[in-house]
């Protein structure tokens, strides 16, 4: 269902087209066309009544002409446009059939054909508009104005187009946030469901980012604008989805290319039938022409042509409501065919932020008996670096006090852990960083050292075997162990790790249950850490110590073996996302690179969106083929009926247009969530 050669390469913008030119959707609801359909019905019914009530012939014909003009206006205009482009489409077939019926005196049948064809198109457009409205409703989420506070404290309501980056806007409780920005003052629970699909509000405080279209909770907020109105996340979401709805799926492109060829074949076949019936079977001209026109109607591929866009647009709208952005219909098809998924580790399977997992004091490992033996027997088995007793809380206070002025990610994690526990940090003097080893500082008159094994070895510290064994156990779990000593006496260590995302294991299990054959993890981290994470999350294969170009090579190799999706954070994984069959950017709110490079964007950090994505894509593929199969079956039955039971033109019209509406309604089922 897809061709990997159509995949754009790294560096393409979000508006890249390749083989998927953005087009104006063919089916757009128009009230004027609906009124024309209503007038067509009026003239048709009036004409039939005039004929049956003995009115003058010219009156009946005049009323039918009115039905032709109102019911055939849009179809004629569309058919002429297609002919100017040297194409023949379904509209042309219907107009030819209606005019042909009139030419042999079957005015009522022709009028019925045009009315039902016009009604079918109107209902199609109305139904398709429902899927577009699911996205256009996003436009109503963004306020047109915002309350701006100037530097002198004056407050004024201004159009959002006048706001500049750095402006301060005020958002009252219960109001929608007008612009992307960063909270300067205030805290509140923000409902971001319109942007991310999250069902629950998220807590936001000073320094946190918020997004246009979100609903403020109970707190008043002051927000510094970080993006212009046209660049907000909501604006880009709307733009991307509208582009996606204009980009055709591969099946749709095939059917669009097939339609004019098929239309020419139908006209040729109908003409052949006319000739055979009149000259070969000896039927009258009117009977032969009537049967040819009936064949022309029932063989027209209306339902076949609409079968794919009705499903694809509905699925794209469904996905967008659930925080999943597809860049086009072809990517929806590709998602249904994925057999392998490669995951980046940091920021995708893990949170991407180091976090303290263990605070281990020497006393916790060695036990009271070890320290009591030293005290009572005056033993000093390790010389001047004999461990000292302290609590885990004291250990963390000393470590965080030294690290609070450090810019190292591990140090920041230690400080955040101390803050989380509401510990009061101490004053530090003589702070000194040793590149590649650690940092030292004086806390309450004592020298505190925090660092790796090289730092402790350089200080001639000898750690007891039970502590070394415990550190090795933590390292085997993929954690980074930082040793802490006080006045050269080991007092314990702190383990830091990049923790798994919530539901990561559950998401991968769900993907495996859906038949994804291979789940692969790619990372630039060491193999020891990679294997530990892989063991926790349950991936099938692990590739570690990779540079970005190595990821590209691996993904290309995997793609040759099976349809492969790549899931990454959209920044350092951009090259691998581009060469995969399906690039999925994870947690991409606010990331321009992710929005530009990936084929699918998950608007929040939720790996459970992946199984939903796969399910939706497969449902869409299944419904597309249901529609195609049903359309072809109806066409075949109607054509056979023309030859076997001399199907009347009105019944042929009803069967033809009825199948079209059934196909549209079946596609609209994809608007519902699983």
User: Distance between CA atoms of 158 and 172, rounded to whole angstroms?
Assistant: 15
DSSP bridge pairs for 582:
565
DSSP bridge pairs for 451:
438, 483
Residue 538 has φ and ψ, to the nearest 5°, of: 90, 40
User: What's the residue count for the chain?
Assistant: 674
User: Distance between CA atoms of 281 and 290, rounded to whole angstroms?
Assistant: 14
DSSP bridge pairs for 225:
181
Write out the two tokens for 43: 């003239």
User: Distance between CA atoms of 597 and 573, rounded to whole angstroms?
Assistant: 10
Q: What is the DSSP letter of 162?
A: G
Write out the two tokens for 467: 């502590």
User: Distance between CA atoms of 446 and 465, rounded to whole angstroms?
Assistant: 25
Q: What are the percentages of helix, strand and coil residues in the chain, rounded to 5?
A: 55, 15, 30
Coil vs helix vs strand at 490:
strand
- The DSSP-derived string for 495-539 is EEEEEEPTTHHHHHHHHHHTT--EEEEE-SS-HHHHHHHHHHHT-
User: Distance between CA atoms of 578 and 599, rounded to whole angstroms?
Assistant: 8
Q: Are 525 and 544 in contact (CB under 8 A)?
A: yes
User: Distance between CA atoms of 596 and 255, rounded to whole angstroms?
Assistant: 28
Count CB neighbours of 154 within 10 A.
8
Which residues have CB under 8 Å from 553's CB, separation 6+? none
Nearest one of 328, 318, 350, 240 to 592, comparing CA atoms: 240
Residue 56 has φ and ψ, to the nearest 5°, of: -55, 145
Active site residues: 344
User: Distance between CA atoms of 574 and 564, rounded to whole angstroms?
Assistant: 15
To 10 degrees, the CA torsion angle through 474, 476, 477, 481? 40
Residue 583, H or E segment: strand 582-585
- The DSSP-derived string for 318-350 is HHHHTTEEES-HHHHHHHHH--EEEEEIIIIIE
User: Distance between CA atoms of 283 and 277, rounded to whole angstroms?
Assistant: 6
Q: Are 48 and 108 in contact (CB under 8 A)?
A: yes
Question: b/e string for 464-487 if b means 16 or more Cβ within 10 A?
Answer: beebeebbeebeebbbbbbbbbbe
Q: What is the largest CA-CA distance in the chain?
A: 129
User: Distance between CA atoms of 429 and 16, rounded to whole angstroms?
Assistant: 56
User: Distance between CA atoms of 573 and 345, rounded to whole angstroms?
Assistant: 10
User: Distance between CA atoms of 401 and 448, rounded to whole angstroms?
Assistant: 10
The 3-class SS string of 205-263 reads: CCCCEECCCCECCCCCEEEEECCCHHHCHHHHHHHHHHHHHHCCCHHHHHHHHHHHHHH
């Amino acid at each position: 269902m897809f061709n990997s050669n159509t995949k754009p390469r790294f560096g393409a913008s979000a508006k890249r087209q390749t083989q998927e030119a953005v087009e104006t959707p063919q089916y757009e609801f128009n009230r004027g066309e609906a009124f024309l359909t209503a007038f067509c019905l009026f003239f048709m019914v009036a004409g039939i009544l005039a004929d049956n009530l003995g009115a003058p012939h010219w009156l009946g014909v005049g009323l039918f002409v009115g039905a032709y003009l109102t019911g055939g206006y849009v179809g004629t205009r569309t058919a002429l446009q297609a002919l100017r482009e040297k194409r023949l489409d379904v509209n042309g077939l219907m107009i030819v059939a209606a005019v042909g019926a009139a030419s042999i005196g079957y005015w009522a049948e022709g009028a019925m054909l045009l009315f039902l064809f016009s009604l079918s198109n109107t209902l199609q457009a109305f139904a398709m508009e429902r899927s577009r409205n699911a996205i256009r409703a996003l436009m109503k989420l963004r306020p047109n104005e915002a309350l701006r506070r100037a530097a002198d404290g004056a407050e004024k309501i201004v159009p959002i187009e006048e706001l500049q980056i750095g402006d301060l806007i005020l958002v009252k409780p219960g109001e929608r946030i007008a612009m992307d920005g960063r909270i300067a003052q205030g805290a509140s629970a923000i409902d971001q469901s319109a942007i991310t699909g999250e069902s629950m509000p998220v807590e936001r405080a000073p320094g946190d980012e918020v997004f246009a279209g979100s609903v403020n909770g109970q707190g008043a907020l002051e927000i510094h604008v970080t993006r212009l109105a046209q660049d907000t996340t909501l604006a880009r979401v709307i733009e991307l989805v509208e582009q996606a709805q204009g980009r055709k799926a591969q099946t749709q492109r095939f059917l669009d290319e097939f339609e004019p060829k098929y239309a020419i074949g139908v006209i040729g076949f109908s003409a052949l039938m006319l000739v055979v019936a009149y000259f070969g079977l000896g039927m009258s001209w009117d009977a032969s022409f009537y049967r040819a026109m009936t064949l022309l109607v029932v063989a027209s591929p209306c339902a076949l042509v609409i079968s794919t866009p009705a499903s694809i647009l509905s699925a794209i709208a469904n996905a967008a409501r659930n925080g999943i952005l597809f860049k086009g219909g072809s990517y929806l098809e590709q998602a249904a065919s994925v057999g392998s998924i490669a995951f980046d580790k940091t920021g995708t399977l893990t949170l991407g932020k180091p976090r303290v997992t263990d605070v281990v004091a020497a006393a916790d490992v060695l036990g009271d008996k070890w320290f009591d033996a030293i005290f009572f027997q005056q033993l000093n088995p390790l010389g001047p670096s004999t461990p000292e007793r302290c609590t885990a809380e004291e250990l963390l206070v000393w470590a965080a006090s030294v690290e609070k002025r450090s810019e190292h990610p591990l140090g920041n994690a230690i400080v955040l852990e101390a803050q989380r526990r509401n510990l009061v940090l101490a004053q530090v003097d003589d702070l000194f960083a040793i590149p590649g080893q650690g940092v030292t500082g004086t806390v309450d008159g004592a020298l505190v050292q925090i660092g790796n094994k090289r730092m402790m070895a350089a200080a001639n510290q000898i750690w007891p075997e039970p502590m070394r064994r415990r550190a090795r156990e933590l390292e085997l779990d993929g954690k980074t162990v930082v040793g802490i000593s006080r006045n050269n006496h080991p007092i314990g260590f702190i383990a830091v790790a990049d923790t798994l995302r919530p539901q990561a294991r559950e998401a991968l299990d769900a993907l495996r249950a859906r038949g994804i054959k291979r789940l692969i993890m790619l990372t630039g981290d060491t193999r020891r850490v990679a294997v530990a994470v892989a063991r926790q999350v349950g991936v099938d294969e692990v590739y570690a110590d990779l540079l970005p170009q190595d990821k590209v090579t691996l993904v290309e190799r995997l793609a040759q073996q099976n349809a492969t999706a790549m899931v990454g954070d959209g920044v350092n994984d951009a090259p691998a996302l581009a060469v995969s069959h399906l690039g999925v950017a994870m947690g991409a709110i606010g990331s321009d690179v992710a929005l530009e490079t990936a084929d699918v964007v998950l608007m929040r950090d939720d790996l459970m969106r992946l199984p939903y994505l796969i399910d939706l894509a497969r449902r869409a593929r299944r419904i597309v083929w249901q529609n195609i199969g049903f359309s072809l079956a109806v066409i075949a039955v109607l054509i056979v009926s023309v030859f076997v039971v001399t199907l009347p033109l009105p019944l042929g019209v009803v069967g033809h247009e009825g199948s079209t509406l059934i196909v549209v309604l079946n596609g609209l089922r994809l608007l519902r969530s699983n």
